[in-house]
């Protein structure tokens, strides 16, 4: 179903504003109350926050369903182009949100590997990692909003859909073939460029990103880790944002599902960092998911007259994800696979 016209920004700007207000309140509570003092995040705390963010996403999905049901029932002209009833359209919208959320949550696994590498490289203690991730994800929200705004315009053109669909397929195949390169912070051009203009202290200074020595402002390794995480997320957004646009063309759904998935990324990292080596087949599952959404964006959508069933999409993506997790637990990894994974901090 084409949903681009269901929630036009000019008519629903207040929904975006209310959503951002909710997110702002949660972030203020997170940093200003629950993580006011830097400390090592325990498994229990990570599990609780993971449940909170997932629960909020699911509550939002339910709210989106009833809001859509009310809105489409109030103005059935919105559905005339596709001939959907209000309940069917509301269900479609809510399932598109859930599918987009699952896709983004799955692709976020790659971020966890990068977090492990970066924190080890810059020797960031566990008690300061939440602070880096908080501001890193805050920046990621801004970058994702820009990507989604640009995507909502570009995705209207047929050639853009084919371009990004092909890009996702190629990226998925590269992951399946194991040709993805592990990022090396020491070779990052942005960090090298920053070091030319900003002196960097060799040691940490508590949870500070900058310290002043005399009249000179120095950056700390904490700030350099933050910059690398921001640059990495821009790279990941190139994959993840088009992948969600393959699920739905509605910017509101793309934006909210993407933001909810990112907000739960910190707690997911602290929950899974120590056991990521057990899921050695998960990358193959992510590769298959990218190939599928790339095919959906291009070939499958055309084969099904522009309306590839969203229930099929959700079922296929969930099945791939579950199979890769269960397979990882049942099949022992090769020794080379174990060595390839970075150790937990």
Q: How far apart are CA 250 and CA 152, in angstroms?
A: 8
Domain count, the chain: 1
Residue appearing with tokens 């001939």: 83
Question: Which are the contacts of 47, defined by CB distance < 8 A and separation ≥ 6?
Answer: 267, 271
Cβ distance 279 to 325 under 8 Å? Answer: yes
In this structure, are residues 218 and 212 in contact, taking their beta carbons and an 8 Å threshold? yes
User: Is 285 inside a domain boundary?
Assistant: yes
Tokens representing 214?
């005399």
Per residue in 289-316, pLDDT (tens digit) is: 989 988 988 888 778 766 778 888 889 9
Residue 336, in any domain of the structure:
yes
Indicate whether 242 belongs to any domain. Answer: yes
Burial, 137: exposed, middle or buried (Cβ in 10 Å; 0-12, 13-18, 19+)? buried
Mean pLDDT, the chain, rounded, equals: 82
Domain with 128 in it: 9-340
Contact 122, 128 (CB under 8 A): no
Asked whether residue 345 is assigned to any structural domain, the reply reads no
User: Which band of pLDDT confidence, cut at 50, 70 and 90, is reported for residue 7?
Assistant: confident
Residue 54 lies in a domain: yes
**Strand positions, DSSP E, the chain:** 210-213, 216-219
Q: Domain for residue 3, yes or no?
A: no
- Banded model confidence at residue 95, pLDDT cuts 50, 70, 90: very high
As a dihedral over the C-alpha atoms of residue 191, residue 192, residue 195, residue 200, rounded to 10 degrees, the angle is 60
CA distances from 67 to 58, 78, 222, 315 (A): 14, 14, 42, 24
Assign 83 a pLDDT band (cuts: 50, 70, 90).
low
C-alpha closest to that of 175 among 247, 237, 239, 248: 239
Within-domain flag for 55: yes
Give me the helices (H) in 246-343, please.
251-263, 265-272, 282-295, 301-303, 310-330, 335-340
Q: Is 1 within a domain? A: no
- The predicted pLDDT at position 81 comes to 45
pLDDT tens-digit series, residues 330-340: 887 764 344 44
Which residue matches tokens 């602070």? 131
pLDDT at 299: 85
pTM over 0.75: yes
Q: What single DSSP character describes residue 280? A: T
Rounded CA separation 191/91 (Å): 46
């Amino acid at each position: 179903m084409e949903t681009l016209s269901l929630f036009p920004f000019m008519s629903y700007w207040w929904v975006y504003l209310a959503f951002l207000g909710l997110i702002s309140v949660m972030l203020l509570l997170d940093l200003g109350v629950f993580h006011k003092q830097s400390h090592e995040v325990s498994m229990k705390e990570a599990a609780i926050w993971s449940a909170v963010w997932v629960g909020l996403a699911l509550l939002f999905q339910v709210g989106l369903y009833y809001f859509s049901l009310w809105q489409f029932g109030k103005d059935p002209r919105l559905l005339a182009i596709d001939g959907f009833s209000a309940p069917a359209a509301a269900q479609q919208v809510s399932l598109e949100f859930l599918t987009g959320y699952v896709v983004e949550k799955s692709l976020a696994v790659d971020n966890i590997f990068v977090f492990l590498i970066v924190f080890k490289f810059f020797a960031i203690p566990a008690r300061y990692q939440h602070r880096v991730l908080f501001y890193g994800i805050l920046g990621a929200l801004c970058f994702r909003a820009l990507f989604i705004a640009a995507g909502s315009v570009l995705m209207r053109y047929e050639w853009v859909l084919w371009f990004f669909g092909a890009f996702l397929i190629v990226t998925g195949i590269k992951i399946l073939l194991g040709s993805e390169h592990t990022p090396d912070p020491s070779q990052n051009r942005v960090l090298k460029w920053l070091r030319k203009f900003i002196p960097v202290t060799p040691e940490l200074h508590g949870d500070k990103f900058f310290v002043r020595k005399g009249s000179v402002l120095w950056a700390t390794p904490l700030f350099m880790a933050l910059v690398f995480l921001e640059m990495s997320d821009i790279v990941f957004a190139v994959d993840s944002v088009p992948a969600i646009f393959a699920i739905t063309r509605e910017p509101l759904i793309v934006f909210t599902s993407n933001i909810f998935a990112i907000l739960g990324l910190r707690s997911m990292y602290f929950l899974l960092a120590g056991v990521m080596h057990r899921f050695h087949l998960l990358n193959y599952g992510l590769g298959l998911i990218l190939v599928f959404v790339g095919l959906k964006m291009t070939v499958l959508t055309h084969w099904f007259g522009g309306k590839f069933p969203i229930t099929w999409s959700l079922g296929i993506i969930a099945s791939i994800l579950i199979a890769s997790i269960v397979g990882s637990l049942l099949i022992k990894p090769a020794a080379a696979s174990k060595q390839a994974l970075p150790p937990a901090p």
